[in-house]
A and B are shown apart, each in its own frame.
Chain A
Amino acid sequence: DAGITQSPRHKVTETGTPVTLRCHQTENHRYMYWYRQDPGHGLRLIHYSYGVKDTDKGEVSDGYSVSRSKTEDFLLTLESATSSQTSVYFCAISESQAGGPSFGPGTRLLVL
């Protein structure tokens, strides 16, 4: 597996609380992505980054923000968690736009 770690791996939180998920890579890849996976929806892109401090929205970005201050770290923040954000979150990395990304191990988030 590519050198990608995610933390935490599991989290339970309450509605209205802020949550930050961290993705860390050791591959020095330029591109980093956050996806969420839900039954019946496959994998949907939340936000992505194409360099330090360079980020853009994906198809389901409402309620999420991201930051990338270093090449190796990409943070996903839920400013005020809602039950609809209960999901499995995957970070992914890619060296270029020419291929498919490699995924991290995932974070399972439950919002009560």
Chain B
Amino acid sequence: GENVEQHPSTLSVQEGDSAVIKCTYSDSASNYFPWYKQELGKRPQLIIDIRSNVGEKKDQRIAVTLNKTAKHFSLHITETQPEDSAVYFCAAKDFGNEKLTFGTGTRLTIIP
């Protein structure tokens, strides 16, 4: 089955700086890669996703890049703000498969 590794497990950045979280996956059949944000005590929420026919996708201050050859994808947050503090999870699956495999999460702390 799919295995997703996520790094780093914790990340602290100064407000206004950029943050990058990286994930690798094992199954070359995976073609859908979502990112979830989970604030303390809340449910995970989908913030951005990318499909394998696209190398990069942006939505305001967040972007995701995908390298299918190397089997890794990354989340980039620019101009970080205090409300970006949360745990972020990457995930991967094959479109035709119901089973979404998650990474173990990155706790991002924005230092004011």
Spell out A's residues near B (CB within 8 Å).
1, 31, 33, 40-45, 48, 50, 56, 58-59, 90, 97-106
CA distance A97 to B42 in the complex (A): 24
Asked if B61 CB lies within 8 Å of chain A CBs, one says no
Consensus secondary structure, chain B interface: loop
Tally of A-B Cβ pairs under 8 angstroms: 57
Given A90-B43, A100-B34, CB of A42 within 8 Å of CB of B96: no
Partner of A41, one of B98, B100, B104: B104
Given A59-B1, A90-B43, CB of A42 within 8 Å of CB of B104: yes
CB distance from A11 to the nearest CB of B (A): 17
Total count of chain B residues near the partner, CB < 8 A: 24
CB distance from B97 to the nearest CB of A (A): 7
Spell out B's residues near A (CB within 8 Å).
1, 6, 32, 34, 36, 42-46, 49, 89, 91, 95-105
Contact, CB under 8 Å: A98 / B104: no
Contact, CB under 8 Å: A42 / B99: no
Contacts of B89 in A (CB 8 A): 42-43
Contact, CB under 8 Å: B43 / A100: no
